Amino acid sequence: MIKLAVYGKGGIGKSTTISNVAAALAKKGYKVMQIGCDPKADSTILLRHGEPVKTVLDLVRERRDDFELSDMVKTGFNGVLCVEAGGPAPGLGCAGRGIIAALEKLEEKGAYRVYQPDIVLYDVLGDVVCGGFSMPMRKGYADQVFIVTSGENMSIHAAANIAMALEHFKNRGYATLGGLILNRRNVKREEEKVQELADDFGSRIVGRLNRSDLVQDAEEDRKCLLEAYPDSDMAGEYELLADQILQSAGS
């Protein structure tokens, strides 16, 4: 089983990227589980035509421990197994601690043992890297971390913080940095700025995605791009990225 965590600043297109990569990997015959670790709980929604997944934390709040794995894990496009950790009620509790509780509940219920996914993708908010938001980096969870970034300054700043957190944790047996994913926003010196960031941390750009209106068009249809426009050039970019991530994870 390969476990990969994907981080990035909110709004950078991380969940869209992960969902399409998950769909591409599933198309190749892998059993894929995507776990949303954002309190908004919308990581997997494009894989399910806009139908949300009941979050692990909502199930715990409503039923304590009286629920089954099938209540937490739902199937999406191409058979991707969809899970949403969820978050606390607004104004109550800590989102980071919620992620910890949700991932622990998945293990307690035997999600990995029962479903036996080939690849697990954690979709993690990257604006903050503390507490529960660093949980997928920890030993026993992700093997590698990939960071989605553009060349925009705030996105670069968030990516640098995530990479720095991995540097701090490297002696604890945590996940390693697999590389950066450039999701282009067509800003000045974009390629150079992201390459400089990769060089600063001894890493590399593992994949590049061009900006495409088809991504937004697919989202309007409540679908991931690989379902809405499977023969498009953009679908090919996501499929190539899936290959590049697998290659990096195996190296």
For 179-222, write each residue's pLDDT tens digit.
Answer: 999 999 999 999 999 999 999 999 999 999 999 999 999 999 99
* Confidence check: pLDDT of 251 > 60: no
The number of beta carbons lying within 10 Å of the beta carbon of residue 212 is 17
Residue 31 known to be catalytic: no
Q: Catalytic residue among 3, 9, 27, 74, which?
A: 9
Percent above pLDDT 70 for the chain: 92
pTM of the entire structure? 0.93
Q: Catalytic residue among 31, 40, 54, 221, which?
A: 40
Query: What value does the mean pLDDT take over residues 28-44?
Result: 93
* Confidence check: pLDDT of 55 > 80: yes
For 76-119, write each residue's pLDDT tens digit.
Answer: 999 999 999 987 666 666 667 778 888 889 999 999 999 999 99
Residue 127 known to be catalytic: yes
Residue 9 known to be catalytic: yes
Q: Catalytic residue among 42, 71, 118, 127, which?
A: 127
Count of structural domains, the chain: 1
Residue 143 known to be catalytic: no
Tell me which residue range forms the domain holding 124. 2-250
* Residues across the chain: 251
Q: Catalytic residue among 14, 27, 105, 223, which?
A: 14
Q: Which CATH number goes with the domain that contains 77?
A: 3.40.50.300
* Confidence check: pLDDT of 128 > 80: no
In whole angstroms, what is the distance from residue 72 CA to residue 131 CA? 23
Can you read off the two tokens belonging to residue 66?
């009286």
pLDDT of 173 reads 76
